Chain A
Amino acid sequence: MKSYKQTHLQYLETESIHVMREVAAQFERPCLMFSGGKDSVVMLRLAEKAFYPARIPFPLLNVDTGHNFPELNNFRDKRAEELGAKLIVRTVEDAIEKGIAVPVKGELSRNRLQIPTLLAAIEEFEFDAALGGARRDEEKARAKERFFSMRDEFGQWDPKNQRPELWNLYNGRVTPGQHMRVFPLSNWTEMDIWEYIGQEKLELPSIYYSHERQVVRRGGQWLPVNDLQPPKENEEVQTLNVRVRTIGDIMTTGCFESDATDIHDIIAEVSAARVTERGGRADDKVSETSMEDRKKEGYF
């Protein structure tokens, strides 16, 4: 007797690919947000599989905050080239110069400044859909996010006015000015991502693995030391074997001590972990609903 069963990773892969094909079919000008981070590495793999042997039918878009880890940017450029994909990069630096993004004094992270930069890029290229790698298990405000998430003319998300989403039927209709954020990885957990990276033997930026780095202890976490973020007077710079679990702005992405040098070590570490991955990101700690607030403004 033959068994027609899917493993959980096959199920999730099937679902995500269905979503990506819907995007390619329902929208005129979609793009895929690709940072080089682990979730977007999985996104790229799924897009590759969804349309194979044809090339990925949309460009890759990245908002460079100027606070990106250099390892990440190098990896991003290399992957795009390998796939023969078109890569569009828009920088926060540029957006500040043009007056689109306005920095506030004392604000360290450029998370907030990413928002107007991204919205300007979406407008510039008239993208009607932007595929992102956000997952529902990351954060409470994401738990109710749809696969197809509508944004109004101001790029804003209205959590109270979301379209019901049933079965695998996705309503991608937008009017001019609106656009759709689409999240094919909605149902994946952090562990699924790591397992898939292991199963598919996907290459990752080196900072996900253990490496030596100068760090300081600040706000209960190890923060990387660099030109943007010199140590404060009373802080002691230490050199430790660290890695990152999730990558955001270099100013707020916490590192943690780890000797994990390959994917199997990481999976073992994640299964033993006692804090969520975003627990390493100071930007989420501001208030109970800080993610909800940023999402409403147009964050990923």
Chain B
Amino acid sequence: MSTETDRIELLRFTTAGSVDDGKSTLIGRLLHDSKSIFEDQWESLQRSADLAGGAEVNLANLTDGLRSEREQGITIDVAYRYFASPRRKFIIADTPGHVQYTRNMVTGASTANMALVLIDARNGVVEQSKRHAYISSLLGIPHMVVCINKMDLVDYSEERFREIREHFHSFIPRLDIRDITFIPISALKGDNVVESSKEMPWYHGPTLLGHLEDVYIASDWNLKDFRMPVQYVVRPLRDEYHDFRGFAGQINGGVAKKGMEVAVLPSGKRSRIKSIHFHEETFGEAFAPQSVVIQLEDDIDISRGDILVSPDNLPYTTQDHDANICWMHEEPLALGRKYLIKHGPNLTKVMFREVVNTIDVETLEEQDFNKGMGLNDIGRVKFKTMVPLVYDAYKKNRNFGNFIIIDEATNATVAAGMLRSPEKPAPVPEHRDYEI
């Protein structure tokens, strides 16, 4: 599926910040300098600036589209913004930075390849930057770029840049970040955003846009362990496809190859991949995150929710779970109550047994004295599901170790979670090949 001459990739990144740290100015600068703001949007911004009586155009008005947000002057939700350079397309998940919007930060982080952490050079590393870094690490964002902004207000001082970088480095060991880059910028003046700064000859690294264009993202997906949850069974019921029975799904990890042996979980039955289809074409292989249709050689009973995996590398299959979660609803978590858990295509009942600890998102310290989980709390929990879940630890595969919790009574999505390896991994049952 990679025959196109057009090789432009898509990078998704998340920003977090409040009104004063220059986040909107930075986004505006990226959009403006890459010519992604249109004249009517610009006019509309100026019109709202005039109405408010201020002379300055507030770029937040580009993203903060909801009336309640404009009235309060804050971003209350995740706003998605789009821009493109000649080399890449970008999706920004722009989220508010305050503690009370932690859930929005988590939401924005869930699909990002990169986290853009903004630090005001005058203030240095503050709680909010730590929180954003922590959440990015918790949600497994593979790349982080720390922009030390407002360098123009600290005389473009290399010393100040180094000082902040060192301070940031001092708490990195507590996080799980694979790739981190520091860039000194001034969003307002445009230094090192799109154009290299003339004011900071001591900095030899890339500009922010240059870095966004270059960072290597193809390996952000787990390409080792083949996993594909069956989303939908394709049965054409047409004469020319009389025997066609295809399993449609998005590959969550690894590579599927024609002829490859697969195990079907949770039943444990085995078969081989007969063919891989996408629309009118067939393929020798397919990889994460492609959406494909797979046919197997044997006629096995498979329906939505079954998982196709590579048999030499099985995921966990357990009912008892250990996970980090972020609670996203006003009504706090109730131990012993039944909720629904959605993991891939599967929906089953779940009961929380214990809140092991919660994280103080201001100090990043674990606290085990607070045994409750309320809105915006992040913590570690143990729970049991009605039927076994088939999964990998989130650290191993972001797209196969993730879940959401749904309130059965209101259907609200109340939490999002990241599975950890079970404490005592239950032995995987040795499945025999079934006679078919």
* Given A24-B232, A54-B237: A143 in contact with B81 (beta carbons within 8 A): yes
Known: A21-B248, A166-B402, A171-B342. A275 touches B39 (CB 8 A): yes
B328 within 8 Å of A (CB atoms): yes
Give the chain A neighbours of B40 by CB distance below 8 A.
275-276, 279
A-B contact pairs, 24 of them (CB 8 A): A3-B218, A5-B9, A6-B9, A6-B10, A7-B4, A8-B8, A49-B278, A52-B234, A52-B279, A53-B240, A53-B246, A54-B236, A140-B66, A144-B66, A164-B104, A164-B328, A164-B413, A166-B110, A167-B111, A169-B342, A171-B406, A174-B411, A186-B80, A187-B80
- The proximity string for B residues 281-322 relative to A, scoring 1 for CB distances below 8 Å and 0 otherwise, is 000000111110100000000001000000000000000000
* Besides the known contacts A136-B82, A191-B84, 5 further A-B residue pairs in the complex with CB atoms under 8 A apart: A6-B2, A11-B9, A18-B291, A189-B84, A289-B67
Residue ID in chain B nearest A284 by CB atoms: B40
Tell me if A288 is interfacial: C-beta within 8 Å of chain B: yes
Question: Which stretch from A92-100, A155-163, A230-238 is at the chain B interface?
Answer: A155-163
Q: Is A25 an interface residue (CB 8 A)?
A: yes
A55 part of interface (Cβ distance < 8 Å): yes
> Which residue from chain B places its CB closest to the CB of A54 in the assembled complex?
B236
Contact present for B290 and A6 (CB under 8 Å): yes
Q: How far is the CA of A154 from the CA of B244 in the complex (A)?
A: 42
Scoring A residues 9 to 34 as 1 if CB is less than 8 Å from chain B, else 0, what string do you get? 11111100110011011000000000
Contacts of A212 in B (CB 8 A): none
Q: Are A3 and B236 in contact (CB under 8 A)?
A: no
Give A192 to B10 CA distance when docked, in angstroms: 11
In the complex, the answer to whether A292 meets B66 with C-beta atoms within 8 Å is yes
Given the known inter-chain contacts A8-B9, A275-B40, please indicate yes or no for A53 contacting B411, CB distance below 8 A. no
Chain A residue with the shortest CB-CB distance to B342: A169
Residue B32, interface by CB 8 Å: no
Give Cα distance in the complex from A5 to B286, angstroms. Answer: 11
Q: Determine whether B91 belongs to the interface, using a CB cutoff of 8 Å to chain A.
A: yes
Q: Are B402 and A169 in contact (CB under 8 A)?
A: yes
Q: Which residues of B contact A141 (CB under 8 A)?
A: 65-66
Interface residues of A in 266-285 (CB under 8 A from B): 273-276, 279
In the complex, what's the smallest C-beta–C-beta distance from B421 to chain A, in angstroms?
19
A17 to B231, CA, bound (A): 11
User: Within 8 Å CB of A25, what residues of B?
Assistant: 231-232, 304, 345
A21 surroundings in chain B (CB, below 8 A): 231-232, 248-249, 291
Q: How far does the alpha carbon of A136 sit from the alpha carbon of B80 in the complex, in Å? A: 7
| Given A143-B79, A163-B412, A165-B107, CB of A53 within 8 Å of CB of B234 | yes
**Given A53-B234, A171-B411: A164 and B416 within 8 A (CB)?**
yes
- Flag if A51 contacts B234 (CB, 8 Å): yes
Give A12 to B44 CA distance when docked, in angstroms. 29
B residues less than 8 Å from A163 (CB atoms): 412-413
User: Considering residues A11, A17, A144, A189, which has the most beta carbons from chain B within 10 angstroms of its beta carbon?
Assistant: A144
Chain B residue contacts of A22, Cβ below 8 A: 231, 345
Helix, strand, loop or mixed for chain B's interface? mixed
For B202, what are the chain A residues with a Cβ–Cβ distance below 8 Å? none
- B369, CB-defined interface residue at 8 Å: no
Q: Does the CB pair B291–A173 fall under 8 Å?
A: no
Q: Contacts of A171 on B, CB cut-off 8 Å?
A: 342, 404, 406, 411, 413
CB of B255 closer than 8 Å to a CB of A: yes
Q: Is the CB of B39 within 8 A of A274?
A: yes
Q: Which residues of B contact A160 (CB under 8 A)?
A: 66, 68, 76
Contact for A11 among B10, B62, B67, B82, CB less than 8 A: B10
In the bound complex, residues from chain B placing their C-beta under 8 Å from that of A273 are 38
Closest to B286 in A: A4
Once the chains bind, are A52 and B406 in contact (CB under 8 Å)?
no
Q: How far is the CB of A277 from chain B (nearest CB, A)?
A: 9
Check B223 for interface membership: any CB of A closer than 8 A: yes
B280: min CB distance to chain A, Å: 7
Give Cα A130 to B255, complex, Å.
33
Partner of A52, one of B1, B8, B44, B280: B280
Chain A residue total in the interface (Cβ 8 A): 63
Chain A residues with Cβ below 8 Å from B6 are 7, 9, 195, 199
Complex CA–CA separation, A42 to B7 (angstroms): 21
CA distance A78 to B307 in the complex (A): 39
Partner of A54, one of B41, B77, B234: B234
Cβ B10 vs Cβ A144 within 8 A: no
Q: Is the CB of A143 within 8 A of B65?
A: yes
A275 and B38 contact, Cβ closer than 8 Å, known pairs A5-B218, A54-B236, A136-B82 = yes
A281 to B65, CA, bound (A): 18
Max chain B C-beta neighbours (<10 A), residue from A9, A24, A52, A174: A52
What CA separation (Å) do A199 and B80 show in the bound complex?
25
| Contact of B106 with A by CB under 8 A | yes
What are the 4 closest A-B residue pairs judged by CB atoms, nearest first? A140-B65, A8-B10, A166-B110, A173-B411
Contacts of B107 in A (CB 8 A): 164-166
Inter-chain contacts of A10 with B (CB < 8 A) = 1-2, 4, 290
A139 near B: Cβ within 8 Å?
A: yes
Cα separation A7 to B48 with both chains bound (whole Å):
37
8 A Cβ contacts from A121-159 to B: 136-137, 139-144, 159
Residue of B nearest to A5 (CB): B218
Compute how far the CA of A139 lies from the CA of B38 in the bound complex, rounded to whole angstroms. Answer: 12
A4 touches B342 (CB 8 A): no
CB-nearest residue of chain A relative to B75?
Answer: A144
Q: How far is the CB of B378 from chain A (nearest CB, A)?
A: 14
Q: Are A292 and B67 in contact (CB under 8 A)?
A: yes
B103 within 8 A of A: yes
Q: Is the CB of A143 within 8 A of B80?
A: yes
Q: At the interface, yes or no: B115 with Cβ under 8 Å from chain A?
A: no
* Minimum Cβ distance to chain A for residue B33 (Å): 15
Indicate which residue in A7, A164, A275 contacts B8 across the interface (CB closer than 8 Å). A7
How far is it, in angstroms, between the C-alpha of A13 and the C-alpha of B250 when the chains are bound? 11
Q: Which residue of A lies closest to B278 (CB)?
A: A49
Give the residue name and chain of the B residue nearest to A137 (CB).
B82
Which residues of B sit under 8 angstroms from A276, Cβ to Cβ? 38, 40-41
Query: Which residue of the partner chain B has the closest CB to A174?
Result: B411
User: Please, which residues of chain B bring their CB within 8 A of the CB of A142?
Assistant: 65
Interface 0/1 of B103-143, CB less than 8 Å to A: 11011001100000000000000000000000000000000
Q: How far is the CA of A12 from the CA of B82 in the complex (A)?
A: 13
> Whole-angstrom distance from the CB of A293 to the nearest CB of chain B?
9
Residues of A within 8 A of B413 (CB): 163-165, 171
